[in-house]
Structure 1
Amino acid sequence: MTEFIDRFLFQLTELLHAPVLLALFAMVVWTLISIGAFFRTWLMRVRKPREAVHTFFAQHEGEITALLTDSPYADIQLTELVRSWEKKQNSRLDNIRFLIKTGPSIGLVGTLIPMGQALSSLSSGDMAAMSGNMLTAFTSTIIGLVCGTVAYLISLKWEKWLHADFLACEVEAETRLRFAGLKQAETDSTLIYNQSL
């Protein structure tokens, strides 16, 4: 019974070998795409540091104007609008965070499967197959760790950018809110002055 379970589990790991290698290849492609997106964003931020904030206010200009002029709860609704934008921007990091967590794990699985095959080849005396499997095992470890590390470094910088954008967005929203309050107070005082005449 134990021998059957051992053989079954070994065959199962053999079946997982190809999907794990495919996942490692997909991780490499995903990492390269993430690096490209990172450098594109970096260049954009060098040229236009506050572009994300300007884009947010340009996209929601009508809604913000309506809140500041008509809503008695403009501060709450404006904060909610900014926070929903922050949440949407943060969700862009989910792909990178996923790669940080899964990269080393998939690399480890991609290491252990060929090592089992290498030990099997060693027992049968097939040294060429053993060296090929060991090469695959070490390559999988390196790819998993490198992809995870690169994704972590990208996420660190991207999170700093997003926090800077969120702070700038909240400052701009607060400035507009205070300016709208001052305008409203000025209008009210003008009306009171005109009525007193």
Structure 2
Amino acid sequence: MAAVPGGEILSGILNVVAESLLIPVMILLVIFIIFAVIEIGALLSEYTSRHKITGKEKEILIKNISACTTPDQISQVIFHTNMNKYDKEILTSIAQLDKTVYNKKTRETLARNLLEEQEFKVNQTLEKVDIVSKVGSACGLLGTIIPMGPGLAALGAGDMQTLTTSLTTAFNTTT
């Protein structure tokens, strides 16, 4: 088989580039693992603190709020529900609006705005997790493939120590 002119030089350059990327890829993988552990902790914390309100409880809440005549009464009804803290704060802030200043349409617009803000916060969290999952997968693949080159070369040369080290690195970075 004829060698392509300059092929050895290009192959050497690619080898240097690939091997120089291994350490940054491994650092990124460690960072992503730490991020994943933190996010799992946050998820468990949110899950344990969040209270699911049944349809029946919602009906009772709406009836109790409808029976109230002052914003303070509404706030007390909201305070005694099983909702999570943030939802209580939103409902209380809407209830405390001065009805002489804010008409029904304005209060409804404010409520929609508060819900959109909450949705935006949730989407920001999901975007971070989505990006990390995509980049983490790519880094895991790179961390697996990069050490395979030197490992295969070591296998061809009969260097079992280098082969073992390369394969260990390759399998450890497959997260």
Normalising by structure 2, we get a TM-score of 0.68
Check the 8 A contact 2:22/2:143 in 1, yes or no.
Answer: yes
Other structure's SS at 1:70 match: coil
Q: Are 1:125 and 2:130 matched, yes or no?
A: no
Structure 1 unaligned residues grouped into runs of 5+: 144-197
Partner of 2:26: 21
Matches within 5 A, 1:69-84: 69-71=101-103, 73-74=105-106, 75-84=108-117
Task: Choose which of 54, 62, 65 in structure 1 pairs with 2:97.
Answer: 65
- 1:61–1:77 CA distance, 2 compared to 1 (3 A): closer
* Structure 1 Cα separation of the partners of residues 24 and 123 of structure 2: 30
Q: Are 1:9 and 2:14 matched, yes or no?
A: yes
Q: CA deviation at 1:46?
A: 4.8
Per-residue deviation, residues 43-94 of structure 1 (Å, max 9, x unmatched) = 2125955333113334x448x7158843574133432332133212321222
CA RMSD of aligned residues (A): 2.5
Partner of 1:92: 125
Partner of 2:87: 53
* Structure 2 Cα separation of the partners of residues 69 and 95 of structure 1: 40
- 1:90–1:133 CA distance, 2 compared to 1 (3 A): same
Structure having greater relative contact order (Cα 8 Å, sep ≥ 6)? 1
Check the 8 A contact 1:67/1:77 in 2, yes or no.
Answer: no
* Structure 2 Cα separation of the partners of residues 42 and 81 of structure 1: 21
Other structure's SS at 2:50 match: helix
* Structure 2 Cα separation of the partners of residues 68 and 87 of structure 1: 30
Check the 8 A contact 1:114/1:133 in 2, yes or no.
Answer: yes
Task: Choose which of 95, 111, 114 in structure 1 pairs with 2:147.
Answer: 114
User: In the alignment, residue 22 of structure 2 is paired with which amino acid?
Assistant: H
- 1:68–1:13 CA distance, 2 compared to 1 (3 A): farther
Structure 2 unaligned residues grouped into runs of 5+: 1-5, 53-81
* Structure 2 Cα separation of the partners of residues 125 and 110 of structure 1: 23
Q: CA deviation at 1:127?
A: 0.8
Equivalent residues, number? 140
Normalising by structure 1, we get a TM-score of 0.62
* Structure 2 Cα separation of the partners of residues 128 and 117 of structure 1: 11
Check the 8 A contact 2:90/2:114 in 1, yes or no.
Answer: no
